[in-house]
Amino acid sequence: MENTKKREKTIYDDSLSGIFFHSGLMLFVMLLIACAAIGAVVFFTRRSDYKEGIKLIFFCLLMVIPCSYLLPLASLIKVWKQERSLGIYWKNRTDQELPEWERDWYLTCDRAGFILVHRAYIRHMKGSKAEIEDTGSYNRGKAYCAVFEDMNGKIRSLKFSSESVEKEFQQWYKKEPYDRGNK
């Protein structure tokens, strides 16, 4: 008998361009909503500087795409460098049917970008640390870093938004089972 059970399609099944598009989409929509709110304020206040308001709206709309896809572009460039140094490419993977912790590639969308790392790129893990990021006078946050030595002997770190995602990465590297839950 043939197994007719279909596996649910995830972001792991997408191409690099699909991952790039998906990871910047949420910020793109949020910035688009902000532009719409600015536009509504400009149109409903009916001030004498109406033309300046239209210029502001056009400026916001022009900045939406570059601002929302800047971090995903940086992630994409890191993946391209990794693929080139490994000689192993994302498009050639065959491990989609395996559980996440047994796959060769680790993929997660985090911190307005995405993290994509091949297991062979990591020579060994050095540890983890938490960094306090001061992004403004009132805005402070923590970044959780997994520090590792890459295949070229360079010390690198991956920043995660939460400790649980960083622990998930550590478990993936050790090939220990984990459950992403409802992400």
Tell me which of 50 and 167 has the higher pLDDT. Answer: 167
Q: How is residue 120 annotated by DSSP? A: G
Kindly state the greatest CA–CA separation across the chain.
75
pLDDT tens by residue, 67-87: 899 999 999 999 999 999 999
pLDDT tens by residue, 8-34: 888 899 999 999 999 999 889 998 998
Q: What is the spatial distance between Cα 28 and Cα 116, in angstroms, rounded to a whole number?
A: 21
Is residue 136 scored above 70 in pLDDT?
no
Is residue 138 scored above 50 in pLDDT?
yes
Q: What is the mean pLDDT of the chain?
A: 86
pLDDT of residue 183: 45
Which residues partner with 142 through β-bridges? Answer: 132
pTM over 0.85: no
pLDDT tens by residue, 106-128: 999 987 889 999 999 999 999 99
The answer to whether 123 and 150 have CB atoms below 8 angstroms apart is yes
pLDDT of residue 179: 77
> At 10, phi and psi to the nearest 5?
-125, 180
Pure H helices in 46-69: 50-68
Percentage of the chain lying above the pLDDT 90 cut? 52
